[in-house]
Amino acid sequence: QLRSNVQYSADLSKKAAANMTKKALAVRGYILKKFPELVIKTGDVVLVPLDDVDRMKVDGGNLIGVVVSTNKLNSTCQVAVKHGLLHRAYVYHAVKPMPEASNNVDLHDLRDAY
């Protein structure tokens, strides 16, 4: 009896964590849709994920770039890296903003790209 109660409690805990994650993603999606400038704005340093086919095993999984323009209508942004502007526009939820301490164009040597 005690073992089934412990298992039941663990299942409830996992379900609660999953529900909280689902709600957090929903709220983030709503904010991105209605107020994208609160999350991504021009001049922010962001991480752009690379597809597996575009990198080797020893390469990192992200590119560091700076947002040079945003399109509120499509919820997209143009990102520039050291060697130029990336061709495609990225939706806001596909890029990850750098933490406040690292969100500096000069720190990542992206001033020329910006």
Digitized pLDDT (tens) for each residue of the chain, 114 residues in all: 556 666 777 788 899 999 998 998 888 777 766 766 667 778 888 888 877 665 666 666 788 888 888 877 777 888 888 888 888 888 877 888 877 766 666 666 676 666
Distance between CA atoms of 84 and 91, rounded to whole angstroms? 19
3 C-beta neighbours (distance < 10 Å), count: 7
Tell me the pTM. 0.57
E strand intervals along the chain = 45-49, 62-71, 76-81, 84-85, 90-91, 96-97
Distance CA 53, CA 2 (A): 50
